[in-house]
Amino acid sequence: MSVSQSRTFKAAILGSGRFLVTLTALMAAVVLARLFTKTDYAAYRQTLLAYNFVAPLLMLGLPHALYYFLPRDKENGRTILSGNLLLLFSMGGLFAAAMWCGGNELLAKRFSNPVLSRLLLIYSPYALLVLPVMAIDACLVSYNKVKALAVYQVVSKVVLFIGVIGLALIWRTPDAAVFGSLVGAFLVFFPAIFLMYRAATGNDWRPRKANMWAQVKYSIPLGFAGMLGIIAMSLDKIIVSSICPPEQFAVYVNGAMEIPLVGILTGSVTAILLPDIVKSYQENKAGDALQLWKRAAGKCAIIILPAMCFLMLMAPEVMRVLFSAKYTESAHPFRIYLLLLPVRTVTWGAMLMAAGKNSWILYNTAITLILNLILSITLVHFIGYIGAAVATVIVFYVWNIPFCMLAISKLYSVSVWKILPYWKYLKILLICFFVGFLCVWKIYLPISSDIARLAVVTPVYAGIVLILMLRFNLLERNTFLAVLKRFRR
């Protein structure tokens, strides 16, 4: 198997695991949205939002540091891993302490939801269990244990799903769902630690201060950038939660999401390619690094862009099937968020990380956050909660992505017009728009069931798009057949 095919297959294996992981998380939201009232569902989602809002700061970018340090010093792999896990566990303790020292009350007042105070106390130990586990992706990928990682991801998320939904079905309260997530996190914590130490090399497992400090210095810019990036992506939800009633927040939060496919695909590809990109750049082969990234962007676009167009067409049906008819209006923010997908075919920060420009990532995300804050508050004031989604899309296209493109152009000594396979993107979009236009007849289908409508339109759309992409050589026939063959095996 060629190196390129090997990378593609490893990314596919990792992506398949992440797909099932994300599917369980989505299914949990689907079940709870139907099980709870809008008020209780909003309280549960606000509890998760409070943790996800600060998680990047707590992580300090430490999991990503393993991508950099483990390949460079595999003889001391366990020492490096121990230092990383100790730092992450300590940061988890800070979150728990903050909640017990009044942070829960402050957040409950900010979101105008007194129930949130109790839920955050229940949830407070969650970070102690989850933050160290966040290192497993970087650790196992660095040691080429992709299949073990995919299996762990699936099993762990199924356990978490059973914990949350099982207790919620018994007691039917957000307290039970939050406690269920805590129980699930406890059950998957020890297997993750075992897998990481089994994969890591070296005889000495004791952490060293010098090594821990080196990881912290490398990670702090990434940590702050990650924090600001998550805040920037979550800011619309924070603003809607703070300004609008819980019922409107419940409608908004279901639709204002990036489809799971994006994080699964681009995250898996980046995890596989990042060590090679870093190595190429350090060997003064910036052109090779850029070509790796560019080819990956083209392969991701083959899946992401057709999905964007299809979901634009079927957004109301998708929202009703997932969350019930009471969340039909979630289709509006959902469609607005889909407009981000053409620039989410790649992980932009990966190229800056490879060049050691973590501070540039921090600067970019900080400006993105400020612009998003100002514009979101303004638009929510004038046009309601939908304005927060509009603001997010505008800021990304006006500032965030242009900055990344110019930075990559400078670091890799290439024209902005050669960073991505733009012509391929355009041809894929033209095909998808054409097929989407052909599928407008779905409006006139004499079928009342949304599931039946999706069952009819999905294979028609996917089949025609696949045929046209093969016909115009946008999808390599041999690669497509090879991936299918290996998955069957």
Within a domain: residue 278?
yes
- Please, what is the angle between helix 422-438 and helix 450-471, to 10°? 140
Number of domains in the chain: 2
What are the φ and ψ backbone dihedral angles of 125, each rounded to 5 degrees?
-75, -5
Structure tokens at 27: 């299914």
Does 378 lie in the same domain as 464?
yes
Return the number of other C-beta atoms located less than 10 Å from residue 242's C-beta: 13
> 409 and 481: one domain?
yes
| Sequence-separated (6 or more) residues with CB below 8 Å from residue 404 | 348, 349, 351, 352, 364
Per residue in 70-83, pLDDT (tens digit) is: 887 878 889 999 99
Q: Among 110-114, 265-269, 320-324, 338-342, name the one with the lowest average pLDDT.
A: 265-269
Q: Are residues 200 and 243 located together in one domain of the fold?
A: no
Q: What is the mean pLDDT of residues 207-218?
A: 89
How many CB atoms are closer than 10 A to CB 91? 21
User: Quick one: average pLDDT of 330-348?
Assistant: 91
Torsion sign (Cα): 39, 44, 50, 56: negative
> Residue 348 and residue 413: Cα distance in Å, rounded?
16
Shared domain for 266 and 196, answered yes or no, is no
pLDDT at 176: 95
Whether the per-residue pLDDT at 57 is higher than 90: the answer is no
Residue 475: per-residue pLDDT: 81
At 59 the three-state DSSP class reads helix
- Give the global pTM: 0.73
Rounded Cα–Cα distance for residues 369 and 361 (Å) = 12
Regarding whether 298 and 186 lie in a shared domain, the answer is no
pLDDT, mean of residues 207-219: 88
40 versus 231: the higher-pLDDT residue is 40
Domain boundary among 191, 207, 223: 207
Instruction: Name the domain boundary from 185, 207, 229.
Output: 207
In 3-state terms, the chain is what percent helix, strand and coil (to 5)?
A: 85, 0, 15
- How many C-beta atoms surround the C-beta of residue 285 within 10 A? 14
The answer as to whether 49 is a domain residue is: yes
302 or 259: which carries more pLDDT confidence? 302
Residue 225 in this model has a pLDDT that exceeds 80: no
433-458 exposure pattern, b = at least 16 Cβ within 10 A, e = fewer: eebbeebeebeeeeeeebeebbebbe
Band (296; pLDDT cuts 50, 70, 90): confident
Q: Would 50 be classed as within a structural domain?
A: yes
Within a domain: residue 324?
yes
Q: Is residue 217 part of a domain?
A: no
Q: CB under 8 Å to 119, separation ≥6 — which residues?
A: 43, 44, 46, 47, 174, 175, 178
Residue 21's nearest CA partner among 150, 126, 157 is 157
126 plus 259 within the same structural domain: no
**Within-domain flag for 222:** no
Residue 222 has pLDDT above 80, yes or no: no
Q: What is the pLDDT of residue 1?
A: 45
Residue of 442 and 127 predicted with greater confidence: 127
pLDDT for 5 equals 46
Alpha helices (H) in 124-259, listed in sequence order? 126-133, 136-142, 146-171, 174-199, 209-243, 246-255
In a domain, 397, yes or no: yes
Exposed / middle / buried, residue 280 (Cβ in 10 Å: 0-12, 13-18, 19+): buried
Which structural domain, as residue segments, surrounds residue 23?
Answer: 1-207
Do 258 and 112 sit in the same domain of this protein? no
Do 195 and 307 lie in a common domain?
no
Per-residue pLDDT tens over the stretch 102-136:
998 988 888 878 889 999 999 999 999 999 999 99
Residue 135 and residue 12 share a domain: yes
Q: Does residue 310 share a domain with residue 454?
A: yes
CA nearest 349: which of 290, 408, 391, 304? 408
Residue 229 has what pLDDT? 66
Token readout for 226 is: 């990650």
Residues 291 and 364 in one domain: yes
Indicate if 374 and 482 belong to the same structural domain.
yes
Q: Could you give the residue ranges of the DSSP H alpha helices within 324-385?
A: 331-338, 348-354, 358-383
d(CA 110, CA 114): 10
pLDDT of 453 over the 60 cut: yes
Query: Is residue 227 domain-resident?
Result: no
Amino acid 174: pLDDT: 94
Contact between 157 and 19 under an 8 Å Cβ cutoff? The reply is no
pLDDT level of residue 480 (50, 70, 90 thresholds): low
Residues 6 or more apart in contact with residue 41 via CB below 8 angstroms: 32, 33, 174, 250
* Contact (Cβ atoms closer than 8 angstroms) between residue 415 and residue 426: no
Assess whether pLDDT exceeds 60 at residue 4: no
429 pLDDT more than 70: yes
Q: pLDDT category, 13, cuts 50, 70, 90?
A: low
Once rounded to an integer, what is the mean pLDDT over residues 326-340?
A: 93
Nearest 5°: CA angle at 178, between 117 and 185? 125
Which pLDDT band holds residue 21 (cuts at 50, 70, 90)?
A: low
188-202, 249-263, 475-489: segment of lowest average pLDDT: 475-489
**What average pLDDT does the chain have?**
86
At which of 207, 228, 249 does a domain end?
Answer: 207
What tokens does 125 get?
């130990």
